[in-house]
Amino acid sequence: MSIVSSLSPRAVAAPESGIVELVNYARGREGLLPLWVGEGDLPTPDFISRAAMDALASGETFYTWQRGIPELRQALSDYYDRHFGLRLPVEHFYVTGSGMQAIQIAVQALTSPGDELIYLSPSWPNIAAALEIAGARSLSVELQFEGGKWAVDLGRIEAAITPKTKGIFINTPSNPTGWTATKQDLVDILALARRHDLWILADEIYARYSFAGGRAPSFLDVMEPDDKIIFVNSFSKNWSMTGWRVGWIVAPPEMGQVLENLIQYSTSGVAQFMQKGAVAALDQGDDFVAANIAKAARSRDILCDALIATNRVETLKPDGAIYAFLKIDGVADSRRAALDIVDKTGVGLAPGTAFGRGGELFLRACFLRDPTQVAIAAERLCDYILKL
C-alpha cells in the first residue's frame, strides 16, 4: 500500500491548480511576460511595508486578537463608510489569513458534509475545491456567453437548487470572465435566496475594479440587516499585497464566536505587524488604489483592442475585474494552447480549463500591469494568433 492511498480521500482528490501548473512549467524564463496569475506588477507600496516593519521592530510579534486587531477592524469599518456609503460597526469584521482562508472559513461555517453550494462558472477554481475538501458538494451553473459578453440566468440558478442546497456563491466582478452584476441582478439573486432560505457567499474582491466609473454594485446596496450574506475580501489586488496573505470577512455579528473559533483552530490569527500594514493600506491607500484601477483600465484597452482587431478573438472589454477572457478561433484545447503560447511567445496565460465548465475554450490574461508591458504582450499574442 502506498503512503498516498492511506490518506484522506478528500485530500487526495484535491485537484492540481491548472494555473499553478503553467506557472511551474515556465516560471523564471528570460523575457517572460507573466499574465497568468491575478496580481499586478508593483511591489507593496512603501507606506504599507514601513508600517509593518515599524510594528515588527517595536516588538509586535505576540499572539493577538483572533478577530483582528481593533485598529484594523475600525479601519475596515471606515473603509466601507467611504466606499460603500454604509457605516457597519466593527463587530461585522473579521481578519483572516488571506481571501482564500476567508472563503474556507465561510464554507466551514455554512456547510456540513453532503450539503451543496451553487456557484457561477467559469469561476476561480478555489471555491469548488474548498467545498469539496470540506466534504460539501459544489454545483456549477454556467454563465451565458454571447457576442463576447457574459450574463447570468436566474432560471438556471433556481433549477439547480435542491433540498441540500445551503447557499449561492457570487463573485462579481468575476474572475475570470469580468462579468459584473447589475444592481438588478443582485436584487433578483437576493430575492431568489430569500425564497429558498439560502445563504449568499459574496466575493467582492474586485468591487473597486469597475470600468463604468465608481465601484461595482454590491449586495450591500440592496440587502436588509437580516439577510443571510457573508462577504469575503482580500488586501491582495487593491494594494499590491498578494504575498501578504491577509483578507477579511464581513458577516452578521451573531456569527462572531463561530468565526473566531474557526480562525483559532486554523491559523490562530494574523500576525499583528502584518495587520498594522493592512491598517496603513486602508487609511492611506486610496490614491494608490485609484492609480492601480486607472492602470488596469489603460492596459485593458490596449490588450483587448489589439486582440479584437485580429478578427480571430471573441471577446469584449470586460466591465470589471482585472482579466481578459479570450476565445481564440482554432483553439480547442486551452491547456495545450497555453503551453504552446508561453513556449513560442513568452507570454504566460492561464488556461480556461482551470476555471471549470464553460471555460474550456478560453484563455485568461491579467492586465493589471504596466501598459508598456501589456502592449508588448498584445503584439506577441496577435502575431501568434494570426499565424494559427
- Rounded distance between C-alpha atoms, residue 34 and residue 373, angstroms: 10
Whole-angstrom distance, CA of residue 17 vs CA of residue 299: 26
Structural Rg of the chain based on CA atoms: 21
Average pLDDT over residues 207-217: 95
- Average pLDDT over all residues of the chain: 95
Task: Give tens-digit pLDDT for 76-97.
Answer: 999 999 999 999 999 999 999 9
Sequence-ordered list of residues with C-beta below 8 angstroms from that of 308, at least 6 positions apart, any chain: 315, 316
Q: Give the integer Cα–Cα distance in Å for 314 and 382.
A: 13
User: Across residues 137-152, what is the average pLDDT?
Assistant: 93
Mean pLDDT score, 268-272: 97
DSSP 8-class letter at 334: H
Mean pLDDT of 204-215: 95
- The 10s digit of each residue's pLDDT in 280-334 is 999 999 999 999 999 999 999 999 999 999 999 998 899 999 999 999 999 999 9
- What is the model's pLDDT at position 105? 97
The pLDDT-based confidence of 64 (bands split at 50, 70, 90) is very high
Q: Mean per-residue pLDDT for 51-70?
A: 97
CA distances from 169 to 76, 150, 157, 280 (A): 22, 17, 11, 30
Nearest Cα to Cα of residue 68 among 44, 103, 92: 92
Amino acid at residue number 160:
A
pLDDT at residue number 13: 84
Can you list the positions of beta strands (E) in the chain?
33-34, 93-96, 116-121, 137-142, 144-146, 149-151, 165-171, 199-203, 229-234, 247-250, 313-314, 323-328, 347-348, 350-351, 362-366
Residues 349-375: tens digit of each pLDDT: 999 999 999 999 999 999 999 999 999
Please give the single-letter amino acid code of residue 85. Answer: G
Q: What confidence category does residue 1 fall into, taking pLDDT thresholds of 50, 70 and 90?
A: low
Q: Given this model, what pLDDT does residue 15 score?
A: 81
Beta-strand relationship, 229-234 and 33-34: unpaired
Q: Mean pLDDT throughout 165-192? A: 98
Give the predicted TM-score (pTM) of the model: 0.95
Task: With beta carbons less than 8 A apart as the criterion, state whether 308 and 315 touch.
Answer: yes
Rounded to an integer, the average pLDDT of 160-189 is 98
What's the rounded mean pLDDT across residues 172-194?
98
Cross-strand bridge partners of residue 285: none
Beta pairing partners, 230: 201
Q: What is the distance between the alpha carbons of residues 78 and 256, in angstroms, rounded to a whole number?
A: 19
| Rama region for 134: left / alpha / beta (φ>0; ψ in -120 to 50; rest) | alpha
C-alpha cell at 128: 469548488
